[in-house]
Amino acid sequence: MDYYLQQLVIGLSLGMVYALVAIGFTLIFGVLNVVNFAHGEVYTIGAYAGLFVVAAWAPPLAALLLAVLAVGALTGVGLERLAFRPFRRFTDEASLKSRAMREATLMSSLALSIIAREAIELIYGSQFQTVPLKLLLNEPIRLGPVTIVNGDVIIFVTALAMLLALQFVLTRTRVGLSIRAVSNNALGARYVGVDVDRTIAWTFVVGSAMGAVAGILVGLYYGAIFPSMGFNPGVKAFVAMVMGGLSSIPGAVICALIIGVAEALSTIFVASVWQELVAYAFLIVTLIFFPRGIFGGARERV
């Protein structure tokens, strides 16, 4: 029983990490109807940026997270400029979410993700980078019979704070309302005078900042940072986005938590090598039984 509880807590914090990554996918899919294949690398860049900041200044955790947040935001701007904006030369509303645009940016974001991964390998090498011991988020916390580590709590609380902040941005600020407007009706957004290009750039800023923070949190939790670390959480977050209905943020968050918890609990029944398959199983089940996503149905599919 205690073991179940412990795995549940671990699963929730894991799920929150997937949720942070899934939000980037979801927001970007909302405004452009494309999957940003470089999103996993944003997560990796967040982890390496954190490593760099730690080595240079060794700041307290909060400052470190803020620095990574900023790096993620800048990465988002660069990513949009290099891989997405060049294909958006036409002002006609039909081309903003067109199939040609989707295919072009699919390739360009994939290309950029490969370049980013290779660049990291060139600089840091392909081996694991270890996190200084005192920064590791693995201090045990005893809650009655259950033992978890402080990382579980820190990840959960940080991610929750970011989700609440996102909620505030999307409902209370002009940038957030513009993001939702472009997502809901890009043509309508132009008629009310929303600067669509700038709004798309902001979408990448918000999504990438959250993805980058997820990267450093996990890096500090497991104590290992490596060039392909973004792949797995990228897949899980992608599955969460699809399960959640492609452009629903609450849907993606809930599904991310479901995947995280299911993975953690699966280790009770099967060897942990099978854990990775949980998300794929969810994806297949979703695509077969809920082709519009479990919470979806609001929007057409890719």
Partner 1 sequence: MLEIAGLRVVMGAQEILRGVDLTVGAGEIVAVVGANGVGKTTLMRAISGVYRPSGGQIRFEGADIAGLASHRIVARGLSQAPEGRQIFSSMSVRENLVLGGGPHGLAELDRVLALFPLLGERMSQNAGSLSGGEQQMLCIARALMRRPRLLLLDEPSLGLAPKLIRIIFDLVASIRAAGLSILLVEQNARGALKIADRAAVMEGGRIALAGRAADLAADRRVAETYLGGHVEA
Ligand X SMILES: Nc1ncnc2c1ncn2[C@@H]1O[C@H](COP(=O)(O)OP(=O)(O)OP(=O)(O)O)[C@@H](O)[C@H]1O
Chain residues binding partner 1 by CB under 8 A are 91-93, 171, 177-178, 180-181, 184-185, 187-196, 298
- 248 secondary structure, DSSP code: -
Q: How far is the CB of 21 from partner 1 (least distance, A)?
A: 24
Q: Rounded CA gap, 144 and 202, in Å?
A: 44
Closer to partner 1 by Cβ: residue 92 or 300? 92
Helix axes 2-32 and 174-184, enclosed angle (nearest 10)? 70
Closer to ligand X by Cβ: residue 95 or 138? 95
192 binds, among partner 1, ligand X, none (CB under 5 to 8 A by kind): partner 1
Dihedral of CA 92/98/101/102: which sign? positive
Element at 270 (helix H, strand E): none
Q: How far is the CB of 185 from partner 1 (least distance, A)?
A: 5
Closer to partner 1 by Cβ: residue 11 or 293? 293
Element at 86 (helix H, strand E): none
Closer to ligand X by Cβ: residue 189 or 242? 189
CB neighbour class for 248 (10 Å; exposed up to 12, middle 13-18, buried from 19)? buried
185 binds, among partner 1, ligand X, none (CB under 5 to 8 A by kind): partner 1
- 195 secondary structure, DSSP code: -
- 229 secondary structure, DSSP code: T
Scan residues 75-104 and list those touching ligand X (CB under 6 A): 92, 94
196 binds, among ligand X, partner 1, none (CB under 5 to 8 A by kind): partner 1
Binding-site size, ligand X (CB under 6 A): 2
5 binds, among ligand X, partner 1, none (CB under 5 to 8 A by kind): none
* 219 contacts 271 by C-beta, under 8 angstroms: no
Contact positions toward ligand X, by CB under 6 A? Answer: 92, 94
